[in-house]
Amino acid sequence: MEQTQENRTRVLVVDDQYLIAMDLVCMLEQLGYSPVGPAASVAEALATLARDGADLALLDETLAGESALPVAMRLQEQGIPFVVVSGHVRSISGNPLLQAARRLEKPLTNKRLAETLMLLRDARK
């Protein structure tokens, strides 16, 4: 049975690099998720989250030179599991919340993204 848009897991995409964000959106759709966004800044991510909600999130650590920490904190407050998607294996932030977060190194593959999202979904249950 095919999932309808309404009952698919919603994944917030937060990345300031347009091509990467759109690639993530396409990958999510191919994997059967419902992308929310993408959002390219902290303000846009917070507004999108408030307006549309999300079940999970993919979060770039730095958005146009600004730390994504406010977004990570809001996600944590709302109990929304997230993964930091970054070109860096280790956190470039000095913040414990971003340092402790599950990480996916760019570039991503569908397989790695699918495995990570499954872990996040299971953690949310």
Domains of the chain: which residue ranges? 5-124
Question: Which of 8-12, 27-31, 121-125 is least confident?
Answer: 121-125
What mean pLDDT is predicted for residues 31-55?
97
Indicate the average pLDDT of the chain.
Answer: 87
**Residue showing tokens 């402790």:** 100
Q: What is the pLDDT of residues 58-74, one digit of tens each?
A: 999 888 888 899 999 99
CATH class entry, domain 5-124: alpha beta
- The single-letter DSSP state of residue 7 is G
Alpha-carbon separation of residue 77 from 1, 16, 59, 71 (angstroms)? 34, 23, 15, 10
